Structure 1
Amino acid sequence: MGELVTSERPASMDVVLLVLSFVALTNGATELLKNPDFESTSFSGNWVCQGCSLSSSSDSYHGHHSAKITQRHHNWAGLAQTINVSPGNRYIFSAHVKLLNMARGRMFHKVQVIVKETIHGHDTYLDLADSPKVRTDSGWVEVGFDFQVPNNLHQVYIYLQIAEPEVNYLVDSASFKLLPSDSNWKTEANARINNIRKAPITVNLHNLHGDGYQVEIQQTKSKFAFGSAVAADKIVDSTHRAYQQFFYDNFEWSVLGNALNGGKWNGVKVILTLTSQWPLYMLFVQKVLRSEVTICFGGLTGHIPDWIDGMGQSTLIQAMHTHINDVISRTRGSLEHWDVYNENLHGMYFEEHTGHANITMEMFNWIHQAEPGVKLFLNEYSVASSRQLTTAYKQQAVELKNAGVPLYGIGIQCHTNSHMDITTLKYRLDKIAEAGLPIWITEFTVNEANEGLKADALENMMTLFMSHPAVEGVLLWGFWDGQIWLPNSALATGSNVQPNAAGKRYQQLFHQTWRTHVTKSVTGSTVHATGFMGDYTLKIKHNGHTVKTQHFTLDKGGKTVTVNL
């Protein structure tokens, strides 16, 4: 997990999918495109090819035909269609693209989805989606976006373009549909939480002697991960007791933040520079339930340390191996997660400087070989809080999974504000979840100065995350205004680290709403309850005195606990 950054896109690697101008619903139809699957080989009245040649191909993603775009004379030449939509509504677009050839000297091409808005004769181009690492051996690649149509926009033009005119491509299974809002989403989300996060508990009691028994079922840890980034210096410094106590009281997972990134290799060489503090941090890791560490590698241009820049290909690969071994020698057995290659849709440093187009796969395999027990993740920003890379991120995860790479899960950096639309956020989570892998919200912030708005938005988004079956945990990207990237996202403030309105709302969710504490009087030999999955302490009391204590873990399928008194 790294800081939220922006980067320049390499203009020399553009495969562009342009979607121009948006329009009004037709007769309430679900699908707004004409001939969206290209099964009709007649393109009259549906698709046109501007500045290129359009034909039908039997090489298809679905069905029997696709559209083949060749003889392109300009970078803007490509497939197009006019449709209608309603102003103010949200829509989702998707299509599958297959490159037929690569431009000379290119390792990748970038597929983009761009929208042209024409309002009062003025054209505005919006880059709505990128797929930056597409090759011919990628096969069929999904591209897409979500988009809210401006209130004064009524007509649309969908335009597909590849920046390099010499590249030919196929298109199939296109779709343009309404994304309806759900005013009842929170009720539905809470119902899902009860369904997917809880399980039945049965306590069988033997050798009861008379009446006056009570059963106390107390949850001590949650299966769903609630965590936060911590500053490695402050979490082990005795002068920051209030900071430490707030963490221990309100979180069960930790991640080492970016506070000490001197001499960094995009965040993790910090481990090698901590010296005297690192053993203390390892003691802290052993105190919390579970922990993960930030990125092992990151390919953003401008974020590569000087000491590796300029290395030859073989020297760089050896340095990468040395880095992995150095880090894991210090962390072995202490961490559960590694973010292997961070934000790699935004940067291609290691691909370009090693000459290995599949270096991401190799990194996963190297780290898995070095420490097989650690769960390995991708991690990326602008995939949930923004629409630009959502589909590309899902596509990358699918490709790694299908290639047999030891990828456990998908990390999502979700830096938002109180204006984040829940319907849109759920759509993006659903899209990424199509990869069929666990999702972790690895960096979560709600950057809002108004504490009431922040508290409400925090609760809504946490509820959505908790209710999504693919999401296994949420890690805040800091919690205290004295040590946080975005001060207006803090849950606690001041030298005493006191919770603000958003912090109190989080505490209510963590300690009460999504926590199980049950006390029941015993009227027979069996007690039934339902609880959130996680670790529990069970106490049997007789006339107010504890006579038996047992511990158990509640998972999917429920738990039966037998107590012999």
Structure 2
Amino acid sequence: MGKTPSKGFPKSPYRGVLKLKLSGSDNQYLDYAQHSFGTVQDGWFRLGGDFITPTKSWTKMRLYIQGPDPHIDFLVDDVSLQEIPDDPNWNTTAYQRIEQIRKTNFFIDITTDDNLDPNHVQVEISLKNHEFGFGSVVADDYLLNPEYPIYRNIFYEFFNWATVGSYKWKYNQGTRTHPNYDRSVNITNELLKQGLHVRGHNMFWGIKGNTPTWVQSLTGDQLKATIQERVRFMTNITMGKLEHWDVNNELLHGQLYEEMTRDPTYTQEIFRAVHARDPKPKLFLNDYNVVAGGAVTDDYVNQGNAFKSANCSLYGLGVQGHFASYVEPNPAIIKYRLDKLATTGLPMWVTELTLANGDENIRADWFETALTMFFSYPSIEGIILWGFWDHSMGSLDGALVNGNYFHINSAGRRYLDLVKNRWSTNIKTTLTSKSSNFNFRGYYGDYDVIIRYRGKAIQRDHFTLYKGEQNKIITLHVDGTTDEITLPTHRPTYAPISHVHHVTHDHTQTLGHASVKSGTSHMTCTTRYSGLSAVGDDKSTDVMCSSGEVMTGCSSITKDGQSFRDGEYFWLKSGSPVCRAVNGYRSAAREYWRELLGYLNFATVLYLACPSDGKARFCVKQGFSNDMACLASVAGCTSYTYYASMDGAYPTPSSCVAQNDGISDVFTYGACCSAPSLSCHVRKSSNGGVHQGDTASVSCQSGETLVGCSVYSEDGNTAGAYPSGNNTCVAVNGRERFPGEQSATAVAVCCS
């Protein structure tokens, strides 16, 4: 294709869009190609890509080409469409490549002192550290947290590489003029101390939502000066520490710096500046939809070739690998896209691998497919997972490890089997003479050699098989000392943990008061329901009392019975209390809110909040685990967090306690009631079932009235609580429970 000159900087790429006519009147659109930074000087260029047809029934397909900006014309010379065939033998050919590119022959010559009987000398040869990179992004809040030693131990057991993802410009914990990345540097230092290699992610991210707002108001010259200053600062604090830098993340999908400087090659200047300041790290482009999707694969090839030709210190291509959730990776398509990228001649790293399936056994199969294809591909030097523990990643259905007790699921065990067993070298042999020669074949990497004599370890040696080395000869001598040596011990990866919840009592605020008078002391309560919230993070729904009522409690459940909710809280609207429920991150279903309301009228009500001449005080408190004291009886007790991470809330006779599930703040909300002769008791159920949707319930005793209903689990993941019937509180379990975890408990406040 070619096009006429543009009067301005091209802000939008050429895109290929596929329109499918589905059954009925619906249409589906898919991107299948992209070309960024097209200018008339490029002349004709190839706009290519691939797509997977949807499983839905469709009757017509149209291919569109969309131009970048108005008044820019382009010509189409030729169009072709061809099918990518499946490869039923992909696994066999992949393992043939693995045997060829990941392993080498080596020889060991061993001699012994005369006092040793060679028939009792056993040699153990074990690969301890792959030359190939197997890693994960680090969860900053957990790696250095003393309460999470098992997170660290699993990380060090599973991986030899790590990505520190908090070097991003927007993650600056200081100010514009005095940036602070101390936590990122401390994490990097800890990883280096443990012998891991570290990738820095990322120095720049030239997309509006991922660049500080103040940067976007700069002039082109100001931006250049600011970027140079950031390069100086970031290279100073990481000098000599990092193996890789993602320099300007996802450049195919956002060219903010190029637009601001009016220079389509400006990122190449950033690469040169970073390399000039710190020559050690290998510098990467990093983008998505280049392997897990095919819409921008060809565009990435063009970009890689352009950077390579510019001689700007680009080392390799980062291919993110965010596969569509609940869609099986296709090895033939993966290889088809990798073959395209390999034409650049640049090394590749899979930098952000994710895939998801709710069935952990299917997930294990899918991980094996993706890992095998990547490990077998010659240009790929390493694979980084974008998280492995369900507490610190985007999709719970993509985890290798689950729960507060770090249960290694089927996918995690499959990963370990591949990396530690099938793709590892472990050899045991016995000498046949005082001078023995062995020839082996093993994976590239660092090896331990343990010499045992009559079963006791007496000597330990090391050697490395470097990539590309062939027929290496290792010479070892076993001396006559037969004293037993102490071998290194393994970290307690699977040991149970117990978190200490530090309860705070500060920052309590009174939101407001409500009261009601009646000529009777009869206690009556009712339940008011809100509508459903919208779907999505932070979507909420409200419910209020009717006239003459006092609110005593606020609780909620999710419609689909899952645990993705931020909780509930009280707020005041024109002086009247409102119960609000909020959907959480990753929520798909809408939140369904139910609230306990109090009446002093006993004609049409089910539950009473406060007896005659009753008063309610609404309070809020923030912290990691909060205890909010009441001067009167606690009627309603609930919790709220910004991050859908909490264990829930439970009342005591005179306080409301909310507890987080992890490291984020949690807010405690309580309704404190007082009235003449008011007597309240907290009643708690036993733990409910371990499956999602299982319930636990507790009822008030005869003569008592339910005025508050909440849910609690030491291990979080609850779907909420609601009143049922006249006097019963029901709590709902929000996730399948893993070994060692507690399920949901219902907690009721019963007053008389």
Matches within 5 A, 1:287-326: 287-326=194-233
Give the drift of 1:446.
1.5
Q: Comparing both chains, which one has the higher relative contact order based on Cα–Cα distances under 8 Å and sequence gaps of 6 or more? A: 1
Report the CA distance shift for 1:199/1:401 in structure 2 as closer, same or farther (over 3 A): same
AA aligned to 1:344 is L
Which of 22, 35, 50 aligns to 1:146? It is 50
Look up the match of 2:335. 426
Which of 277, 301, 311 aligns to 1:404? It is 311
Look up the match of 2:171. 264
Matches within 5 A, 1:411-490: 411-416=318-323, 417=325, 418-490=327-399
Residue range with higher mean Cα deviation, 119-128 or 341-350: 119-128
The answer to whether the 8 Å contact 1:205/1:563 transfers is: yes
Look up the match of 2:103. 198
The answer to whether the 8 Å contact 1:385/1:425 transfers is: yes
Give the drift of 1:273.
3.1
RMSD, matched Cα: 2.9
Quote the Cα distance in structure 1 between the aligned partners of 2:451 and 2:311: 48
The DSSP-based 3-state class of the residue aligned with 1:507 is helix
Which of 270, 273, 277 aligns to 1:363? It is 270
The answer to whether the 8 Å contact 2:448/2:463 transfers is: yes
Does 1:189 pair with 2:94? yes
The answer to whether the 8 Å contact 1:537/1:552 transfers is: yes
Does 1:354 pair with 2:261? yes
Quote the Cα distance in structure 1 between the aligned partners of 2:62 and 2:187: 59
The answer to whether the 8 Å contact 2:449/2:462 transfers is: yes
AA aligned to 2:33 is A
Look up the match of 1:497. 406
Which of 518, 537, 541 aligns to 2:427? It is 518
AA aligned to 1:369 is A
Residue range with higher mean Cα deviation, 205-214 or 532-541: 205-214
Look up the match of 1:557. 469
AA aligned to 2:153 is Q
Which of 214, 217, 221 aligns to 2:129? It is 221
Give the drift of 1:157.
6.9
The DSSP-based 3-state class of the residue aligned with 2:354 is strand
The answer to whether the 8 Å contact 1:109/1:134 transfers is: no
Quote the Cα distance in structure 1 between the aligned partners of 2:169 and 2:405: 28
Identity %: 32
Report the CA distance shift for 1:450/1:156 in structure 2 as closer, same or farther (over 3 A): closer
Quote the Cα distance in structure 1 between the aligned partners of 2:386 and 2:267: 25
The DSSP-based 3-state class of the residue aligned with 2:105 is strand
TM-score, length basis structure 1? 0.76
Deviations 1:178-221 (A, max 9, x none): 31101121122122111211111200124564532332211110
Look up the match of 2:291. 384
Which of 230, 246, 249 aligns to 2:157? It is 249
Which of 225, 230, 238 aligns to 2:146? It is 238
Give the drift of 1:279.
3.2
The DSSP-based 3-state class of the residue aligned with 2:118 is coil
Quote the Cα distance in structure 2 between the aligned partners of 1:467 and 1:515: 14
Does 1:508 pair with 2:417? yes
Residue range with higher mean Cα deviation, 134-143 or 527-536: 134-143
Look up the match of 1:39. none
The answer to whether the 8 Å contact 2:17/2:66 transfers is: no
The answer to whether the 8 Å contact 2:108/2:475 transfers is: yes
The DSSP-based 3-state class of the residue aligned with 2:227 is helix
Matches within 5 A, 1:117-196: 117=20, 126-149=30-53, 162=67, 164=70, 166-169=72-75, 171=77, 175-196=80-101
The answer to whether the 8 Å contact 1:266/1:303 transfers is: no
Look up the match of 2:15. 112
Quote the Cα distance in structure 2 between the aligned partners of 1:457 and 1:372: 38
Report the CA distance shift for 1:206/1:428 in structure 2 as closer, same or farther (over 3 A): same
Deviations 1:92-136 (A, max 9, x none): xxxxx3x35322213466222223445789776543111122223
Give the drift of 1:281.
4.2
Report the CA distance shift for 1:118/1:277 in structure 2 as closer, same or farther (over 3 A): closer
Report the CA distance shift for 1:242/1:268 in structure 2 as closer, same or farther (over 3 A): farther
The answer to whether the 8 Å contact 1:342/1:379 transfers is: yes
TM-score, length basis structure 2? 0.58
Give the drift of 1:254.
0.8
Does 1:527 pair with 2:441? no
The answer to whether the 8 Å contact 2:11/2:259 transfers is: no
Give the drift of 1:166.
4.7
Q: Show structure 2 runs of 5+ residues with no match.
A: 479-752
The DSSP-based 3-state class of the residue aligned with 1:309 is helix
Give the drift of 1:357.
1.4
Residue range with higher mean Cα deviation, 348-357 or 271-280: 271-280
Quote the Cα distance in structure 1 between the aligned partners of 2:145 and 2:281: 28
Residue range with higher mean Cα deviation, 373-382 or 514-523: 514-523
Look up the match of 2:750. none
Aligned residue-pair number:
465
Report the CA distance shift for 1:520/1:137 in structure 2 as closer, same or farther (over 3 A): farther
Quote the Cα distance in structure 2 between the aligned partners of 1:246 and 1:320: 37
Quote the Cα distance in structure 1 between the aligned partners of 2:164 and 2:65: 43
Quote the Cα distance in structure 2 between the aligned partners of 1:545 and 1:478: 40
Which of 282, 287, 291 aligns to 1:375? It is 282
The DSSP-based 3-state class of the residue aligned with 2:207 is coil
AA aligned to 1:111 is Y
Quote the Cα distance in structure 2 between the aligned partners of 1:222 and 1:327: 29
The answer to whether the 8 Å contact 1:268/1:294 transfers is: no
Give the drift of 1:156.
7.0
Give the drift of 1:550.
2.5
AA aligned to 1:482 is H
The answer to whether the 8 Å contact 1:141/1:395 transfers is: no
AA aligned to 1:563 is L
Which of 338, 341, 356 aligns to 2:245? It is 338
Quote the Cα distance in structure 2 between the aligned partners of 1:436 and 1:389: 18
Look up the match of 1:103. 6
The answer to whether the 8 Å contact 1:300/1:346 transfers is: yes
Report the CA distance shift for 1:204/1:506 in structure 2 as closer, same or farther (over 3 A): same
Look up the match of 1:31. none
The DSSP-based 3-state class of the residue aligned with 1:453 is helix
Quote the Cα distance in structure 1 between the aligned partners of 2:54 and 2:236: 54
The DSSP-based 3-state class of the residue aligned with 1:356 is coil
The structure where helix makes up a greater share of residues is: 1
Q: Which has the larger radius of gyration?
A: 2
Deviations 1:519-543 (A, max 9, x none): 1222362111111111111234444
Matches within 5 A, 1:70-109: 97=1, 99-107=2-10
Quote the Cα distance in structure 2 between the aligned partners of 1:361 and 1:261: 19
The answer to whether the 8 Å contact 1:268/1:295 transfers is: no
AA aligned to 2:110 is L
Look up the match of 2:677. none
Give the drift of 1:272.
4.1
Give the drift of 1:483.
1.5
Quote the Cα distance in structure 1 between the aligned partners of 2:73 and 2:199: 42
Report the CA distance shift for 1:497/1:146 in structure 2 as closer, same or farther (over 3 A): same
Deviations 1:458-515 (A, max 9, x none): 1111111111111111111111111222222111112222211111111111211111
